[in-house]
Protein backbone atom coordinates (compact mmCIF):
# COMPACT_ATOMS: atom_id res chain seq x y z
CA UNK A 1 0.00 0.00 0.00
CA UNK A 2 1.27 3.47 -0.87
CA UNK A 3 2.76 5.43 1.98
CA UNK A 4 3.26 9.19 1.80
CA UNK A 5 6.34 9.21 4.05
CA UNK A 6 8.87 9.81 1.22
CA UNK A 7 6.84 12.82 0.03
CA UNK A 8 6.88 14.54 3.39
CA UNK A 9 9.75 13.37 5.54
CA UNK A 10 13.26 12.04 5.81
CA UNK A 11 15.37 10.68 8.63
CA UNK A 12 19.10 11.22 8.91
CA UNK A 13 20.71 8.59 11.08
CA UNK A 14 23.60 8.78 13.53
CA UNK A 15 26.12 7.69 10.85
CA UNK A 16 24.75 9.96 8.10
CA UNK A 17 22.69 7.25 6.40
CA UNK A 18 19.09 8.04 5.48
CA UNK A 19 15.73 6.36 5.90
CA UNK A 20 12.18 7.47 5.18
CA UNK A 21 11.08 7.02 8.79
CA UNK A 22 11.96 5.34 12.07
CA UNK A 23 9.85 2.25 11.32
CA UNK A 24 11.84 1.48 8.19
CA UNK A 25 13.78 -1.69 8.89
CA UNK A 26 16.87 -1.49 6.70
CA UNK A 27 19.08 1.25 5.26
CA UNK A 28 17.67 2.88 2.15
CA UNK A 29 20.84 2.99 0.05
CA UNK A 30 24.53 3.22 0.55
CA UNK A 31 24.17 6.91 1.32
CA UNK A 32 26.18 9.03 3.68
CA UNK A 33 25.12 12.61 4.22
CA UNK A 34 28.30 14.62 4.25
CA UNK A 35 30.14 12.31 1.81
CA UNK A 36 28.03 10.67 -0.95
CA UNK A 37 25.48 13.52 -0.61
CA UNK A 38 26.16 17.06 0.51
CA UNK A 39 23.01 17.22 2.58
CA UNK A 40 19.59 15.59 3.09
CA UNK A 41 18.00 17.95 0.54
CA UNK A 42 20.21 16.50 -2.20
CA UNK A 43 18.98 13.01 -1.34
CA UNK A 44 15.36 14.15 -0.88
CA UNK A 45 15.35 15.68 -4.40
CA UNK A 46 17.50 12.99 -6.01
CA UNK A 47 16.78 9.97 -8.20
CA UNK A 48 17.11 7.34 -5.43
CA UNK A 49 14.33 8.85 -3.33
CA UNK A 50 12.26 9.41 -6.48
CA UNK A 51 12.68 5.72 -7.36
CA UNK A 52 11.52 4.86 -3.84
CA UNK A 53 8.42 7.07 -4.36
CA UNK A 54 7.74 5.25 -7.64
CA UNK A 55 7.96 1.89 -5.85
CA UNK A 56 5.37 3.18 -3.39
CA UNK A 57 3.12 4.33 -6.27
CA UNK A 58 3.47 0.88 -7.90
CA UNK A 59 2.34 -0.73 -4.66
CA UNK A 60 5.51 -2.82 -4.38
CA UNK A 61 6.04 -5.00 -1.33
CA UNK A 62 8.96 -3.10 0.23
CA UNK A 63 11.08 -5.19 2.58
CA UNK A 64 12.02 -2.29 4.88
CA UNK A 65 8.32 -1.51 5.48
CA UNK A 66 7.59 -4.85 7.21
CA UNK A 67 6.71 -3.18 10.54
CA UNK A 68 3.82 -1.23 8.97
CA UNK A 69 2.66 -4.34 7.15
CA UNK A 70 2.60 -6.35 10.40
CA UNK A 71 0.79 -3.53 12.24
CA UNK A 72 -1.86 -3.45 9.53
CA UNK A 73 -2.25 -7.26 9.63
CA UNK A 74 -2.69 -7.11 13.42
CA UNK A 75 -5.20 -4.27 13.19
CA UNK A 76 -2.85 -1.81 14.90
CA UNK A 77 -2.35 1.76 13.73
CA UNK A 78 0.90 1.97 11.79
CA UNK A 79 3.43 4.67 11.11
CA UNK A 80 2.13 4.60 7.52
CA UNK A 81 -1.38 5.51 8.76
CA UNK A 82 0.13 8.54 10.45
CA UNK A 83 1.64 9.91 7.22
CA UNK A 84 -1.33 8.98 5.04
CA UNK A 85 -3.83 10.61 7.39
CA UNK A 86 -1.89 13.73 8.31
CA UNK A 87 -0.74 14.50 4.76
CA UNK A 88 -3.62 13.06 2.71
CA UNK A 89 -3.90 16.19 0.56
CA UNK A 90 -0.29 16.96 -0.33
CA UNK A 91 0.81 16.83 -3.94
CA UNK A 92 4.44 18.00 -4.05
CA UNK A 93 7.39 16.48 -2.16
CA UNK A 94 8.82 18.79 0.50
CA UNK A 95 10.51 18.25 3.86
CA UNK A 96 7.61 18.80 6.26
CA UNK A 97 8.95 16.58 9.01
CA UNK A 98 12.58 15.89 9.77
CA UNK A 99 14.08 13.23 12.01
CA UNK A 100 17.64 13.86 13.07
CA UNK A 101 20.03 11.56 14.93
CA UNK A 102 23.31 13.44 15.13
CA UNK A 103 25.36 10.83 16.98
CA UNK A 104 25.28 7.59 18.94
CA UNK A 105 26.48 9.41 22.05
CA UNK A 106 24.49 7.98 24.95
CA UNK A 107 24.66 7.77 28.73
CA UNK A 108 22.63 4.51 28.79
CA UNK A 109 23.02 0.98 27.52
CA UNK A 110 19.45 -0.27 27.08
CA UNK A 111 19.09 -3.99 26.56
CA UNK A 112 17.14 -3.76 23.28
CA UNK A 113 19.48 -1.15 21.80
CA UNK A 114 22.78 -1.56 19.94
CA UNK A 115 26.01 0.23 19.10
CA UNK A 116 24.43 2.21 16.25
CA UNK A 117 22.41 4.10 18.83
CA UNK A 118 24.56 3.90 21.94
CA UNK A 119 28.35 4.03 22.01
CA UNK A 120 28.13 2.13 25.32
CA UNK A 121 27.08 -0.97 23.38
CA UNK A 122 30.15 -1.25 21.19
CA UNK A 123 32.19 -3.81 23.18
CA UNK A 124 29.19 -6.02 24.01
CA UNK A 125 27.89 -5.95 20.45
CA UNK A 126 31.25 -7.21 19.26
CA UNK A 127 31.48 -9.91 21.95
CA UNK A 128 27.92 -11.14 21.33
CA UNK A 129 28.51 -11.23 17.60
CA UNK A 130 31.51 -13.48 18.21
CA UNK A 131 29.34 -15.74 20.38
CA UNK A 132 26.94 -16.26 17.48
CA UNK A 133 24.18 -13.78 18.38
CA UNK A 134 23.10 -12.29 15.08
CA UNK A 135 24.15 -8.64 15.19
CA UNK A 136 23.65 -7.96 11.48
CA UNK A 137 22.75 -4.31 11.05
CA UNK A 138 23.34 -3.63 14.75
CA UNK A 139 27.08 -3.71 15.23
CA UNK A 140 28.44 -0.29 14.34
CA UNK A 141 31.74 0.00 12.46
CA UNK A 142 33.18 2.27 15.16
CA UNK A 143 32.45 3.10 18.78
CA UNK A 144 31.55 6.73 18.00
CA UNK A 145 29.29 7.67 15.09
CA UNK A 146 28.33 11.18 14.04
CA UNK A 147 26.36 12.78 11.25
CA UNK A 148 26.45 16.39 10.07
CA UNK A 149 24.34 19.12 11.66
CA UNK A 150 24.93 21.49 8.74
CA UNK A 151 21.60 22.70 7.34
CA UNK A 152 23.08 24.90 4.60
CA UNK A 153 21.17 24.21 1.39
CA UNK A 154 18.35 22.37 3.17
CA UNK A 155 14.95 23.87 2.41
CA UNK A 156 13.14 24.05 5.75
CA UNK A 157 10.35 26.43 4.66
CA UNK A 158 7.70 23.69 4.85
CA UNK A 159 8.97 22.20 8.09
CA UNK A 160 6.27 21.71 10.72
CA UNK A 161 7.86 19.06 12.89
CA UNK A 162 11.41 18.25 13.96
CA UNK A 163 12.22 15.05 15.85
CA UNK A 164 15.52 14.84 17.62
CA UNK A 165 16.81 11.43 18.57
CA UNK A 166 20.03 9.80 19.58
CA UNK A 167 21.90 8.37 21.23
CA UNK A 168 20.51 10.61 23.88
CA UNK A 169 19.67 13.91 22.14
CA UNK A 170 19.86 16.03 25.29
CA UNK A 171 23.60 15.31 25.62
CA UNK A 172 24.32 16.17 21.96
CA UNK A 173 24.97 19.95 21.92
CA UNK A 174 25.10 20.10 18.11
CA UNK A 175 21.31 20.09 18.08
CA UNK A 176 21.62 23.69 19.26
CA UNK A 177 23.23 24.51 15.88
CA UNK A 178 20.10 23.21 14.14
CA UNK A 179 17.86 25.25 16.49
CA UNK A 180 19.94 28.33 15.71
CA UNK A 181 19.37 27.83 11.96
CA UNK A 182 15.61 27.59 12.54
CA UNK A 183 15.77 30.75 14.63
CA UNK A 184 17.87 32.68 12.07
CA UNK A 185 15.49 31.67 9.27
CA UNK A 186 12.59 32.85 11.39
CA UNK A 187 10.75 29.54 11.22
CA UNK A 188 11.33 28.11 14.69
CA UNK A 189 7.96 29.45 15.86
CA UNK A 190 6.20 27.34 13.15
CA UNK A 191 7.82 24.11 14.19
CA UNK A 192 6.79 21.50 16.71
CA UNK A 193 9.73 19.82 18.41
CA UNK A 194 9.68 16.16 19.40
CA UNK A 195 12.36 14.95 21.78
CA UNK A 196 12.82 11.26 22.50
CA UNK A 197 14.79 11.08 25.72
CA UNK A 198 15.86 8.64 28.40
CA UNK A 199 15.08 11.49 30.84
CA UNK A 200 18.29 11.23 32.81
CA UNK A 201 19.19 14.88 32.39
CA UNK A 202 17.00 17.95 32.17
CA UNK A 203 18.01 20.60 29.58
CA UNK A 204 20.23 23.44 30.81
CA UNK A 205 19.44 27.14 30.45
CA UNK A 206 20.86 27.42 26.93
CA UNK A 207 18.65 24.56 25.73
CA UNK A 208 15.62 25.92 27.55
CA UNK A 209 15.96 29.31 25.83
CA UNK A 210 15.69 27.60 22.42
CA UNK A 211 12.97 25.22 23.54
CA UNK A 212 10.73 28.12 24.48
CA UNK A 213 10.89 29.43 20.89
CA UNK A 214 9.25 26.38 19.32
CA UNK A 215 5.56 26.36 18.51
CA UNK A 216 5.04 23.32 20.68
CA UNK A 217 7.16 20.69 22.38
CA UNK A 218 6.37 17.03 22.81
CA UNK A 219 8.69 15.15 25.06
CA UNK A 220 8.63 11.39 24.77
CA UNK A 221 10.04 9.72 27.87
CA UNK A 222 11.45 6.26 27.24
CA UNK A 223 10.75 3.80 30.02
CA UNK A 224 10.50 0.04 29.48
CA UNK A 225 9.90 -1.12 33.06
CA UNK A 226 9.94 0.45 36.51
CA UNK A 227 12.02 -0.17 39.65
CA UNK A 228 14.85 -2.71 39.64
CA UNK A 229 13.69 -4.32 36.42
CA UNK A 230 13.68 -0.88 34.76
CA UNK A 231 17.19 -0.23 36.02
CA UNK A 232 18.34 -3.56 34.60
CA UNK A 233 16.60 -3.13 31.25
CA UNK A 234 17.90 0.36 30.60
CA UNK A 235 21.39 0.35 32.09
CA UNK A 236 21.91 3.89 33.44
CA UNK A 237 18.22 4.41 34.28
CA UNK A 238 17.60 5.70 37.78
CA UNK A 239 13.97 5.53 38.91
CA UNK A 240 14.39 8.40 41.37
CA UNK A 241 16.02 10.70 38.83
CA UNK A 242 13.44 9.76 36.21
CA UNK A 243 10.62 10.75 38.55
CA UNK A 244 12.22 14.10 39.45
CA UNK A 245 12.82 15.04 35.80
CA UNK A 246 9.36 13.83 34.82
CA UNK A 247 7.94 16.37 37.30
CA UNK A 248 10.11 19.13 35.81
CA UNK A 249 8.85 18.37 32.30
CA UNK A 250 5.26 18.38 33.49
CA UNK A 251 5.87 21.92 34.80
CA UNK A 252 7.54 23.05 31.56
CA UNK A 253 5.21 24.07 28.67
CA UNK A 254 5.31 20.63 27.04
CA UNK A 255 3.16 17.73 26.07
CA UNK A 256 4.61 14.76 28.00
CA UNK A 257 4.20 11.28 26.56
CA UNK A 258 5.74 7.88 27.28
CA UNK A 259 7.15 5.16 25.08
CA UNK A 260 7.96 1.58 26.09
CA UNK A 261 9.52 -1.20 24.10
CA UNK A 262 8.03 -4.64 24.68
CA UNK A 263 10.57 -7.45 24.44
CA UNK A 264 11.59 -10.65 26.27
CA UNK A 265 13.22 -8.70 29.10
CA UNK A 266 10.48 -6.14 29.69
CA UNK A 267 7.27 -8.07 29.06
CA UNK A 268 6.82 -9.35 32.62
CA UNK A 269 7.14 -5.82 34.00
CA UNK A 270 4.34 -4.45 31.83
CA UNK A 271 1.55 -4.73 34.40
CA UNK A 272 3.47 -2.61 36.93
CA UNK A 273 4.60 -0.21 34.23
CA UNK A 274 1.18 0.65 32.80
CA UNK A 275 -0.16 1.02 36.32
CA UNK A 276 2.67 3.41 37.24
CA UNK A 277 2.46 5.56 34.09
CA UNK A 278 -1.32 5.55 34.50
CA UNK A 279 -2.24 6.90 31.07
CA UNK A 280 -4.23 5.26 28.26
CA UNK A 281 -2.06 2.74 26.46
CA UNK A 282 -1.95 2.39 22.68
CA UNK A 283 0.12 0.67 20.02
CA UNK A 284 0.44 3.52 17.53
CA UNK A 285 3.06 6.22 17.12
CA UNK A 286 4.55 7.65 20.25
CA UNK A 287 3.74 11.25 21.16
CA UNK A 288 0.47 10.77 22.96
CA UNK A 289 -0.25 9.08 26.31
CA UNK A 290 1.59 5.77 26.66
CA UNK A 291 2.74 4.03 23.48
CA UNK A 292 3.76 0.38 23.64
CA UNK A 293 6.14 -0.63 20.90
CA UNK A 294 5.80 -4.33 20.05
CA UNK A 295 9.25 -4.74 18.63
CA UNK A 296 10.12 -7.23 15.89
CA UNK A 297 13.83 -6.73 16.24
CA UNK A 298 16.29 -7.80 17.33
CA UNK A 299 14.61 -11.12 16.54
CA UNK A 300 16.10 -12.91 19.57
CA UNK A 301 14.35 -10.40 21.85
CA UNK A 302 11.00 -10.48 20.03
CA UNK A 303 8.32 -12.15 22.16
CA UNK A 304 6.88 -13.84 19.05
CA UNK A 305 9.98 -16.00 18.82
CA UNK A 306 9.73 -17.50 22.32
CA UNK A 307 8.57 -21.15 22.66
CA UNK A 308 4.79 -21.55 22.77
CA UNK A 309 4.71 -22.83 26.37
CA UNK A 310 6.69 -19.74 27.49
CA UNK A 311 4.24 -17.50 25.66
CA UNK A 312 1.43 -19.24 27.62
CA UNK A 313 3.23 -18.51 30.88
CA UNK A 314 3.58 -14.81 29.94
CA UNK A 315 0.01 -14.53 28.64
CA UNK A 316 -1.36 -15.86 31.96
CA UNK A 317 0.36 -13.05 33.82
CA UNK A 318 -0.57 -10.10 31.60
CA UNK A 319 -3.24 -7.58 32.55
CA UNK A 320 -6.50 -7.67 30.52
CA UNK A 321 -5.63 -4.31 28.99
CA UNK A 322 -2.60 -5.92 27.37
CA UNK A 323 -4.62 -8.26 25.15
CA UNK A 324 -2.94 -6.79 22.05
CA UNK A 325 0.43 -7.90 23.42
CA UNK A 326 -0.93 -11.44 23.69
CA UNK A 327 -2.34 -11.30 20.15
CA UNK A 328 0.98 -10.06 18.80
CA UNK A 329 2.93 -12.72 20.72
CA UNK A 330 0.87 -15.60 19.31
CA UNK A 331 0.60 -14.15 15.79
CA UNK A 332 3.73 -16.05 14.66
CA UNK A 333 5.12 -19.51 15.45
CA UNK A 334 8.20 -19.45 17.64
CA UNK A 335 11.59 -19.65 15.96
CA UNK A 336 14.17 -22.14 17.39
CA UNK A 337 17.08 -20.25 15.82
CA UNK A 338 16.21 -17.08 17.73
CA UNK A 339 15.41 -18.98 20.94
CA UNK A 340 19.00 -20.29 20.93
CA UNK A 341 20.34 -16.78 20.37
CA UNK A 342 18.13 -15.42 23.15
CA UNK A 343 19.69 -17.99 25.52
CA UNK A 344 23.23 -16.96 24.60
CA UNK A 345 22.28 -13.31 25.00
CA UNK A 346 20.65 -13.96 28.38
CA UNK A 347 23.61 -15.95 29.72
CA UNK A 348 26.05 -13.27 28.60
CA UNK A 349 24.19 -10.53 30.49
CA UNK A 350 23.42 -12.69 33.50
CA UNK A 351 27.16 -13.07 33.96
CA UNK A 352 27.73 -9.35 33.44
CA UNK A 353 24.89 -7.67 35.33
CA UNK A 354 23.06 -10.43 37.22
CA UNK A 355 19.40 -11.04 36.37
CA UNK A 356 16.05 -9.84 37.77
CA UNK A 357 13.58 -12.54 38.82
CA UNK A 358 11.03 -11.71 36.09
CA UNK A 359 13.60 -12.46 33.40
CA UNK A 360 14.79 -15.61 35.16
CA UNK A 361 11.25 -16.95 35.01
CA UNK A 362 11.17 -16.64 31.24
CA UNK A 363 14.63 -18.14 30.82
CA UNK A 364 13.84 -21.13 33.05
CA UNK A 365 10.67 -21.76 31.10
CA UNK A 366 12.59 -21.62 27.79
CA UNK A 367 15.17 -24.06 29.19
CA UNK A 368 12.47 -26.69 29.84
CA UNK A 369 12.49 -27.43 26.11
CA UNK A 370 15.77 -25.89 24.87
S1 LIG B 1 5.31 2.06 4.98
FE2 LIG B 1 5.94 2.36 7.12
S3 LIG B 1 8.11 1.81 7.17
FE4 LIG B 1 7.56 2.18 5.03
S5 LIG B 1 8.07 4.30 4.68
FE6 LIG B 1 5.92 4.21 5.24
S7 LIG B 1 5.88 4.56 7.44
FE8 LIG B 1 7.98 4.03 6.91
pLDDT for the residue numbered 342: 97
Q: Which phi and psi (to 5°) does residue 53 adopt?
A: -60, -40
Q: Which phi and psi (to 5°) does residue 346 adopt?
A: -60, -50
- Check if 8 has its Cβ closer than 6 Å to any atom of ligand 1: no
Question: Is the pTM here over 0.85, yes or no?
Answer: yes
158 within domain boundaries? yes
28 within domain boundaries? no
Distance CA 195, CA 95 (A): 18
Pocket test for ligand 1, best of 79, 93, 285, 293 (most atoms within 8 A of CB): 79
- Check if 28 has its Cβ closer than 6 Å to any atom of ligand 1: no
30-34, 145-149, 252-256, 305-309: range with lowest mean pLDDT? 30-34
Q: Which residues pair with 9 in a beta bridge?
A: 97
Q: How do residues 312-323 score in pLDDT, each as one tens digit?
A: 999 999 999 999
- Check if 19 has its Cβ closer than 6 Å to any atom of ligand 1: no
Contact between residue 6 and residue 49 where contact means Cβ atoms under 8 Å apart = yes
pLDDT for the residue numbered 295: 92
68 within domain boundaries? no
pLDDT for the residue numbered 217: 97
pLDDT > 80? residue 27: no
- Check if 263 has its Cβ closer than 6 Å to any atom of ligand 1: no
Query: What percent of the chain clears pLDDT 90, i.e. is strictly above it?
Result: 87
Q: How do residues 273-296 score in pLDDT, each as one tens digit?
A: 999 999 999 998 899 999 999 998
User: CATH number for the domain including 162?
Assistant: 3.20.20
30 within domain boundaries? no
4 within domain boundaries? no
- Mean pLDDT of the 317-336 span: 95
Pocket test for ligand 1, best of 13, 21, 57 (most atoms within 8 A of CB): 21
| Maximum distance among all Cα pairs of the chain, rounded to whole angstroms | 62
248 within domain boundaries? yes
171 within domain boundaries? yes
Average pLDDT over the chain, rounded to an integer: 95
- Check if 170 has its Cβ closer than 6 Å to any atom of ligand 1: no
Query: What domain range is 304 assigned to?
Result: 95-368
Domain count, the chain: 1
- Check if 21 has its Cβ closer than 6 Å to any atom of ligand 1: yes
71 within domain boundaries? no
Amino acid sequence: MKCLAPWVTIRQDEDGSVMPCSSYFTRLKDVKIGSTHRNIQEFFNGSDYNDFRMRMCNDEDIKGCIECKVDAENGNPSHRDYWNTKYANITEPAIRELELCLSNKCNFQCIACNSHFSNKWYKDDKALNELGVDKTGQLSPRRHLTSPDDMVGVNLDSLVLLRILGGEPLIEPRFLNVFEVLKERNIIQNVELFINTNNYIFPNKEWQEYLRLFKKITIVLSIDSIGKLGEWNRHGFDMKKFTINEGRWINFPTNVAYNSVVHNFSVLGLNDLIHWVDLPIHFGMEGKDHALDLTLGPSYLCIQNLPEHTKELIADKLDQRLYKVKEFMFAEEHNPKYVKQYKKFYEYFEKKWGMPKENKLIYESVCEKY
